[in-house]
Amino acid sequence: MDVLIIGQGISGTCLSYFLEKENISFLVIDDANNNAPSRVAAGIINPVTGRRIVRTWMIEELLEFSLQFYTKLGDELNIKAISQKQIIDFFPSPQMKLAFEDRFKEGETYLQKPVDENSFLHQFNYDFGYGMVSPSYSVHLQTLLPAWRNKLINQDQLLEETFDITQLKIEQDAVYYKDITAQKIIFCDGVQSYQNNFFNKLPFAPNKGEMLIVEIPELSTDYFYKKGMVLAPLSESGLFWLGSNYLWEFEHENPTKEFYLQAEQLLQTWLKLPFKILEHRASVRPATIERRPFVGFHPKYSSIGILNGMGTKGCSLAPYFAKQLSGNICSNKPILPEVNISRFKKILSP
């Protein structure tokens, strides 16, 4: 076998897709953890970010690539994998309204102003108007990940178990895991890589996020709605994702009463439509201090690679850099220096 992939979140899914296209043999090991970040995420691709409303890093390349990738993958799986949306950004303060208008005047093409700022008053309470971000995209992770998983299972390319790194043996040109032999192993397992001896010196910055699944039958699914938190439509009709918070320090990985009450209060004061909270989940994201992914092969062990550290941008970053990594495996094509873990050669191979 050529490649052993650890994890079938969005990174492992994308990498296995591109390896299959290159006729590279692989096996994915994944434990179907329902609280893995990709299974808790909303699947939003947003071209602007932050209070300063600046463009997301590499967004021009990433938007086009992501749209083509998810459309093609959805067609192959006979599902709808991606939908175009608009973000309705309700301004929480006059200052944020001014910041948006300033960026709009500067010619930021992803921003739009509404014709009628009162058009959502029958659904939401808001005092300072709103702006729009377009295009943005919804990646239907709740449909996509299980569909790809079923394909892998049917092709005997997925082993459903928890990866036990103590069973891994490394040689320069091969890896051995239990009774499996492969030329390379790629870790796409989120924060688990933060705890493995090969990559635990990388500058991960794990942060915890929580979310609610909310039933709002009367709310349009054409938009993402943002005011402090984001309401994002899910694949199942009438269901929305509400989140998230970003905790850099946390005692445990479980959902908290504090977030539930905060989110419930937001819904009660913001939303005018009837709603029902169905589920509360939490996960720890594999973010990085530099806010750049980790892609490539260990400088000391050329058979050990990583595709990780996507943070909150996994749906846009993972396809693009999975393609780069597969190209590197197949044809030794270069990996973008800004994400290549060769930039950490000194700390990874003391």
Please check whether residue 69 lies inside any domain of the structure.
no
- Whether 160 and 196 share a structural domain: yes
Distance CA 6, CA 167 (A): 13
- Whether 211 and 133 share a structural domain: yes
Sign of the four-CA dihedral 119, 121, 123, 129: positive
Query: Which of 255, 293, 350, 312 lies closest to 15, judged by CA?
Result: 293
pLDDT of residue 246: 82
The CATH code of the domain that includes 315 is 3.50.50.60
Q: What is the mean pLDDT of the chain?
A: 95
- Whether 148 and 276 share a structural domain: no
Show which of 238, 265, 285 is a domain's final residue. 285
Show which of 285, 305, 335 is a domain's final residue. 285
Residue for token pair 């490539």? 296
Please check whether residue 53 lies inside any domain of the structure.
no
337 upstream amide cis, omega within 30 of 0: no
pLDDT of residue 51: 77
Query: Which of 229, 219, 203 lies closest to 44, judged by CA?
Result: 229
pLDDT at 350 over 80: no
Question: With bands split at pLDDT 50, 70 and 90, how would you rate the model's confidence at 218?
Answer: very high
What is the CA angle 195-198-202, rounded to 5? 70
> 3-state SS of the chain?
CCEEEECCCHHHHHHHHHHHHCCCCEEEEECCCCCCHHHHCCCEECCEECCCCEECCCHHHHHHHHHHHHHHHHHHHCCCCEEEEEEEEECCCHHHHHHHHHHHHCCCCCEECCCCCCCCCCCECCCCCEEEEEEEEEECHHHHHHHHHHHHHHCCCEEECCCCHHHEEEECCEEEECCEEECEEEECCHHHHHHCCCCCCCCECCEEEEEEEEECCCCCCCEEEEECEEEEECCCCCEEEEECCCECCCCCCCCCHHHHHHHHHHHHHHECCCCEEEEEEEEEECCECCCCCEEEECCCCCCEEEEECCCCCHHHHHHHHHHHHHHHHHHCCCCCCCCEHHHHHHHHCC
- Whether 272 and 303 share a structural domain: no
- Whether 112 and 160 share a structural domain: no
Lowest mean pLDDT among 5-14, 189-198, 338-347: 189-198
Q: In 10 A of CB 256, how many CB atoms? A: 17
Please check whether residue 163 lies inside any domain of the structure.
yes
**Residue 195 CB partners (closer than 8 Å, separation 6+):** none
Distance CA 283, CA 123 (A): 30
Please check whether residue 166 lies inside any domain of the structure.
yes
Please check whether residue 54 lies inside any domain of the structure.
no
Please check whether residue 168 lies inside any domain of the structure.
yes
For the chain, how many structural domains are there in total? 2
The CATH code of the domain that includes 130 is 3.30.9.10
- Whether 239 and 129 share a structural domain: yes
- Whether 9 and 34 share a structural domain: yes
Please check whether residue 215 lies inside any domain of the structure.
yes
Q: Compute the average pLDDT of residues 276-295.
A: 95
- State the residue range of the domain holding 259: 84-137+205-285
Question: With bands split at pLDDT 50, 70 and 90, how would you rate the model's confidence at 173?
Answer: confident
pLDDT at 171 over 80: yes
pLDDT at 249 over 90: no
Q: Compute the average pLDDT of residues 90-109.
A: 93
Show which of 270, 285, 300 is a domain's final residue. 285
- Whether 114 and 218 share a structural domain: yes
Each residue's pLDDT tens digit, 122-157 = 999 999 999 999 999 999 999 999 999 999 999 999
- Whether 10 and 104 share a structural domain: no
* Furthest C-alpha separation in the chain: 64
Please check whether residue 76 lies inside any domain of the structure.
no
Each residue's pLDDT tens digit, 256-268 = 999 999 999 999 9
Distance CA 157, CA 223 (A): 36
The model's pTM is 0.95
- Whether 192 and 274 share a structural domain: no
Q: In 10 A of CB 35, how many CB atoms? A: 13
- Whether 124 and 99 share a structural domain: yes
Each residue's pLDDT tens digit, 41-65 = 999 999 998 778 899 999 999 999 9
- Whether 247 and 281 share a structural domain: yes
